[in-house]
Structures are given as C-alpha cells and as structure tokens.
Structure 1
Amino acid sequence: MSHAADVFPFPGSTYRGPAPQYAAFRADQPVVKVPTAGGVDAWLVTRYEDVRALSADPRLSRARACGPGAPRIGGTMHTTPEMIISLDSPEHSRLRKLVAGAFTLRRVERMRAGVQKVADELLDDMQAQEGPVDLVQQLAVPLPLTVIGELLGVPAADLRDFEKWARAFATVDDRAGGEESLNGLAKLSEYIVGLVADKRARPTDDMLSELIAARDNDDRLSEQELVTFGFTLIGAGFDTTANQLANSVLALIADHRDQWRWLAEDRSRIPVAVEELLRHVNLFATDTSGFPRIAADDIEVGGVTIAKGDAVLLSLASANRDGDVFPDADRLDLAREKNPHISFGHGLHYCLGKHLGRMEMEIALDGLVRRFPDLRLAVPEDELPWHNGEINHTLTSLPVVWGA
C-alpha cells in the first residue's frame, strides 16, 4: 500500500515550487506510474524533453480523458467534453482555426493601450489610498477580468455583475462548489447566452462579435461553441492570469526583494523577467497542467511503455525545474535569457492567450515597480489566505504597504 506522500497530488507543493518528489523522479524515474487520490493509477512524466514531446503527441488524447466513463484522477481539472482544451484533432484543429485569428500577436498588440489604461486607473486608485491595500482585489483580479469583459464586449454597466459571477465560476472545483459558486456559474451561463444573441443581432468591435463572424469556407462556430468558448476565456484568461500575477508579486516581495529593486532600477528588464516568473512561480497546485490524458495507443517514452488506455499526467512545473534545460533551475533569475519554459503548454493545446497573458503581466509589473519600488507585505506571510481548491495556488488576499 502506498504511503500518502506517494499518492498524487503530492503534498508539499506551493507557489514557490513543486513538491520534492518531482526532483527525485526526474533523477531516477522520469516516467513513473503513481496512485492518485481518485483511486486510478496514472503515468507521471517529469522531465522537460519527455513532457514537451508528449504534449505534442497525437497518441495522447484529451477527449478520452473527458468523455463518459473516463477515469477520475484526484486533484486534476475535469473539463467538459465540448471545451477546446478537451478536444483532439480534427475537431480541435477546426475550432482552433476559427478562433486563432482573434489571438494573434498583432491583434493583442492593438489592445495594449487599452490594457495600459485599465492598469493605470487601478494603480491610480491604489496610490490614492493609505495602505494597506489588497493587491488581489485592487489589481490582480480586476485587470484581467476587465480585459476579458472588454474582449467579450460586456457593457460597462454589466461589468460588476459579470465580475461577481466570473469569480464564482473560477473558484468552482471538486471540493469547494458551494451554493454561491454554483449560482454564479448558472448566472454567468445565462448571461453569456444572452450576450452571444445580442452580439449576433448587433455586432460591435470586440472579440466575441469577431468570433460570431468568423468563417472558414462554409464553417462557423455554433451557438454552443461560442458560449463554451466564453467560459474557456474566463477560466483561462482571467483566473490563470490573476493567480500568476498575485503569486509572482508575492514571490518577489517576500523572497526576492533584491530582484524587485533590480527591476525598479531598469524597467526594460521586465519582459525577460516575466518569462522567468512564468517558469519559476508554480501556478498549478497539482504541478501538472491540470489536464489528464489517455493513451490511444502504446507509447514508448523514458525507457517504459505506456499502454493503450492508461492515464497520463504531464508535469509542467517539474519540466520547468529540469536542470538539464535550465541551469540552476531552482533559482529565480530574472535575467535568465535562454528560457524555453513550457508554462503555456506545447503542441496541439499550446495556449491561445499566451500573448495577452504576457502583456498583462508586463504592464502590471511595470506599473508596480515604477510607482511602488518599496512595496512590501503588510502581514506575515503565514497569515496570507489561500483558496483551498485543487487546481491553482490561489491567493484570496495579498495585503501590501509602501512608503514610510
């Protein structure tokens, strides 16, 4: 019988890094079968090259992990079968082709001035207050949420309700559903259905209207696909960015104040620093991408055979700490130039929103180090509240102060 410490998800993972088991597995058993909290054994893949290769391997199926009768693996995200992150090709390729135009680097760069304006207004409000200020409520949540609202064309008058429902949706998980969260989920669903109908009748200059109009020859997105994509955008584009920003600021002001000051001295260093924060700061509580896969065929990798039908977990957090790829991998080095991190995934499900996430991180950090070079925690770190969900390391509050 396995010891609790050997059951996935392993205890000991924090925003600072993955649980200690991963380093041992990378060294001795890079592809290892582990029992999971859901009662199903799964192959855990921990080295960078293997994780990257399998992320792009069509023999690993996301759809089989999301369909009826799929194994329940404790501590992983169980998405609905119609979401783009749940699809295999050719269905995934069809959907991605229709929506990819809305996420190009050029399209995202056109949003920069608008994102900067939102960030400046939030930081103006923060600067006008006498601390302590909750950075989660003041910046980490409202910045990406306002941006997603604008992408979907949510009218300004509806943004407050949209924010409340979206936050409830983002915190739904196996252990913390709760009546309030489920009610928020229902309200958000109803709202997005109405929003799609409204944009179809009266298109405006926003991403949702663009997606409604998207065509690939005679192909188009169905009503259900549009609504589902709205949910995906909120979960991936809002919650993930909010958590990454809050956790990154915490890492800098709690553990790496010298590097925070180093950024403040020369803000041109921020784009390279963001890549290192994406690599080093551990977002996923399970240390994987949160998404299990099922082998559709036998696969040889890392000296073992993954059999057809077996569940597979790819650890992005472990891959990002692989010393064969990242020298001194456990050290946060904001000047790290060669940084092929895999935080946005790889292959078929490479994150569509990567350009937007990077831009929001850069703008937020630039504003913070410029205005608050002496930003620091207002409470002891062990008093910070974390959401007890199974997917992300989520700070629910980050009280900070600055000045004398």
Structure 2
Amino acid sequence: MTTAATGSGSAAREAFPFPGSSYRSSAPGYDRLRTTEPVARVPVAGGGHTWVVTGYAEAREALVEPGLSRAAISGPGAPEFPGFLKAPPEMIASMDPPEHTRLRKLVTKAFTVRRIEQMRPRIQEIVDELLDEMAGKGSPADLVERFTSPLPLTVICELLGVPVEDRARFHVWARQFAMVSDPAQAQEGAAQLGMYMGRMIGLKREAPADDLLSALIAARDEDDRLSEQELVVFGYALLGAGFDTTACQLANSVLSLVEYHPEQWRRLGEHPQEVPGTVEELLRGVNLFGTDTSGFPRLALRDVTIGGVTIPRGEPVFVILSSANRDASVFPHAERLDFTREDNRHITFGHGIHHCLGAPLARLELRIAIEALTRRFSDLRLDVPESELRWQPGDVNHNLLALPVRWG
C-alpha cells in the first residue's frame, strides 16, 4: 500500500481541472496520469488540492466505496470548487445511504423502466414531427435549434406533465442551472425551477394526471413518501439532467459522426440494427462533461484505499469518467471510436448506487433520434468548418450553441 504525494510529471503540475478537454477527448493531462498515477493528488486552480481518479478499475472502485461521501461534500466546512455544479443536499445525487436508499426506492416506484419504454411511440412521433418540419423548411438548418434541443425538452416536459406554454421558460432556467462558471446564474436557474416545480406539485396534488410528477406524489413505501422539498428538487433535477445532458450528448454525437465518421453515418441509414451499438460507443467516446467529470466530487470520511493508494480522511476526490472510458486496458484502441466494439462497459452513466436513474430514457432518445436522422438525411454534413462552431463557455457540459448542417 502506498500513499500518493502531490503527484509527479507534467500532468501533476497542471491545475485541476486540467486544460484541453473537448467533446472528442478528455484533457491530455488526465491521459498521462492514467498511465502513471491513476489515483493522484493534484493542485486545484485557485488554491488547495484534490484527488483525481483516472483509471477504469480505480474509478469503479471509487464509485462504490462507501467511505467516499457525496453528502459530506455538501456539508459545512467542505471544500468549494468554483466552476462545478453545486448540487443541493436534498438532491438524490448528493445523498449517502440510508437517506439515498430510501429516496431512490421511492423514486424508482414511479420512474420505472416500463414507464420509459411506454414512451417509445411518443418519442418516435416527436422525432418524426421535428424532422418533418426541418425537412420542410429546407437546407441548411441549425440542428440544435431544430432538433437536438427541442427533442429532449419536449420529452422531459411531457414526462413530468409541464404544459406546452411553459416550456420556453423551462429551457431558459435549465440553461441557467448548467452555467457553473456563473454561480449567480446557476442559483437563479435553480430557484426558478424550484418555485415552478413547487406550484406544479400543488396542482398535481389537486388534480393528478398520467405523468411522472403525479406518480412521484403518489409513490409510497409502507407509510413513507417523498417530502415536498424532495419532490421539488427531484423534479427540477430530472428536468435539468433529462433535458440538458441529452441535448448536448445528441448534438455532440451527431457532430462526431458527420464530421469524422461519415461512412458510419451512411451505414446506419442502411443498417439501423447497428444503432444501439453505435450509441454505446458514442456514449463512451464522445465526452459530454466540460470538466471531464460528472461534476460531483466526494469527500473521504476516513482513510480510504483506492487502487493501492491511500486517500486521507477529509480529502476531496473527483472521478474522471471520460478518462476512465479511455483506459486501454479495458477498451482496446480506446482513443478512437470503434463502432464494432463488443462488451462496451463504459461508465458514462456512473456505477454503483449513484448510477444515473435517467440512463434508460437517454439511451432510448439517442437511439430513436440517430436512427431517424441517418435514415432520412443520409448525406447530412456541416455547413461551416468545425473550427467556426460556437460552444457555451463555462458550462457543465460541452454545449454547442448551434450546429449548422446541410443535406441534399
């Protein structure tokens, strides 16, 4: 057993989060650490240190280690990390057992795989309507405006029962919530989402409907149920995650395919049965996270050993998911997208008790969207050089502001 110091080599001299992250790869500094020091203590921009876990086996170990706490990082005296999403302590992602176990059990009674699968026909209908409209207006088009943003926003709003007339406001608030580089904007977005969800919950209590929010209100485990604050926080967290992350992942996946793998794009149009495997490789290799992490640090409650390295009590830890997904010991030729890859055990949705509740919905939307796009627009391509694409700075995700495309 060894204890890492402040690290060694050029990667360790860089400040966390390391520079150079993009939708195509994690920052090069993490790649260097993964091969030499997969559990390392590194300096943080602005002062202090944190531990980063960059190897695949080490990441999976860290994600299930009960001594690394999500709840403690939100507690008094915990270290602050400017530029990262600060989740409220009532959010399920911020909880440890037994509170997390209780909340997740209640939520999964309402947010079931069966409920998500029943949405398949409606998601297909939304996709077809959006693409019909885009085709009718003609080439070129902004795919973010026409498709990759309105699709997940419509799906998550319909799932929660949000009226059509309120969805434009939800879009603004969810985008604010993701602006981690501007704490005032992020807090304003969270506050607006929270107040709106509170009003929605009151309406659903009086007149339940066939939607997820009504099901969450009704969820029971013996005499236990979700509190008002838990309902509010879970509702707006689901909206933010279900909309923003899926929208960014879809746009970035399309960009990766049409710009760097046009042969695969054309192939999918003729072989739609290959879409699920392609989506999994895109989830592994297209880097959603703006800082290469999910944005949720952990705090060591006691001395914890990960990958043979001891992390002392009271130290913060970040698991670098995009780096773990590029571990060549698990994914041969990990640096490139391989659409024939088998046994794709990526951890984009996390691992262990905090595995993403929305993963089945995200997968379903991505598969339906990419199948329809490749079938209907076999020659889709960028309308501008990639270097001219605009990205939202300071966002929790790699977020394209526009994706100009043409076809025909």
TM-score, normalisation: structure 1: 0.95
Give the drift of 1:265. Answer: 2.1
Q: Which residue of 2 aligns with 1:320?
A: 325
Amino acid at match of 1:174: S
Q: Which amino acid aligns with 1:26?
A: R
Mapped contact 2:70–2:93 kept (Cα < 8 A): yes
Cα pair distance change 1:136/1:5, threshold 3 Å: farther
Deviation string, structure 1 residues 283-315 (Cα, Å, up to 9, x no partner): 111111211100111112223210111111111
Contact 1:8 1:75 in 2 (8 A): no
Match among 176, 179, 184 for residue 172 of structure 1:
179
Aligned partner of 2:229 in structure 1 is 224
Residue in 2 that maps onto 1:360: 365
What CA distance in whole angstroms lies between the structure 2 residues aligned with 1:3 and 1:321? 16
Cα offset, 1:105, TM superposition: 2.2
Q: Distance in 1 between matches of 2:158 and 2:341?
A: 34
Q: Kindly indicate whether residue 40 of structure 2 is the aligned counterpart of residue 24 of structure 1.
A: no
Q: Distance in 2 between matches of 1:393 and 1:251?
A: 13
> What is the match of residue 3 of structure 2?
none
**Paired residue type of 1:248:** S
Equivalence for 1:249: 254
CA distance in 1, matches of 2:262, 2:244: 26
2:154 — aligned with what?
Answer: 146
Determine which of 58, 68, 71 is the counterpart of 1:60. 68
**Partners of 1:184 and 1:55 in 2: how far apart?**
28
Q: 1:185 to 1:346 in 2, by over 3 A?
A: closer
**Is the 1:34–1:41 contact (alpha carbons within 8 Å) kept by the matching residues of 2?**
yes
Equivalent position amino acid for 2:335 in 1: D
Instruction: Give the 5 Å matches for 1:241-390.
Output: 241-390=246-395
Amino acid at match of 1:16: R
Which of residues 70, 73, 94 in structure 2 aligns to 1:86?
94
Q: CA deviation at 1:84?
A: 0.6
- Partner of 2:52, secondary structure, is strand
CA distance in 2, matches of 1:70, 1:84: 18
Task: Give, in whole Å, the separation in 2 of the partners of 1:274 and 1:84.
Answer: 27
- Cα shift at 1:182: 5.9
Q: Is the 8 Å Cα contact of residues 61 and 306 (structure 2) preserved in structure 1?
A: no
Q: 2:85 aligns with which of 77, 80, 89?
A: 77
CA distance in 2, matches of 1:23, 1:107: 39
Q: What SS is found at the alignment partner of 2:310? A: strand
- Contact kept, 8 Å, 1:176 with 1:389, in 2: the verdict is no
How far off its partner does 1:5 sit?
6.3
SS in 2 for 1:242: helix
* Residue ranges of structure 1 left out of the alignment (5+ in a row): none
Please give the alpha-carbon distance, in whole angstroms, between the structure 2 residues aligned to 1:54 and 1:401: 44
Distance across 2 between alignment mates of 1:136 and 1:299:
43
CA contact 1:39–1:73 (8 Å) conserved in 2: no
Amino acid at match of 1:123: L
| TM, length-normalised to structure 2 | 0.94
Distance 1:272 1:215, change over 3 A: same
Q: Which secondary structure does the structure 1 equivalent of 2:137 belong to?
A: coil
TM-fit CA distance, 1:68:
2.2
Q: CA deviation at 1:185?
A: 4.5
1:123-149 per-residue CA deviation (whole Å, 9 max, x = no partner) reads 111111122211111111111111111
C-alpha displacement of 1:39? 1.8
**CA deviation after TM superposition for structure 1 residue 104, in Å:** 2.7
Instruction: Give the unaligned 5+ runs of structure 2.
Output: 1-5
Q: What does 1:82-231 correspond to in 2, within 5 Å?
A: 82-169=90-177, 171-175=178-182, 177-178=184-185, 184-231=189-236
**165 and 285 in structure 1: CA distance in 2 versus 1, 3 angstrom threshold:** closer
Give yes or no for the alignment of 1:235 onto 2:240: yes
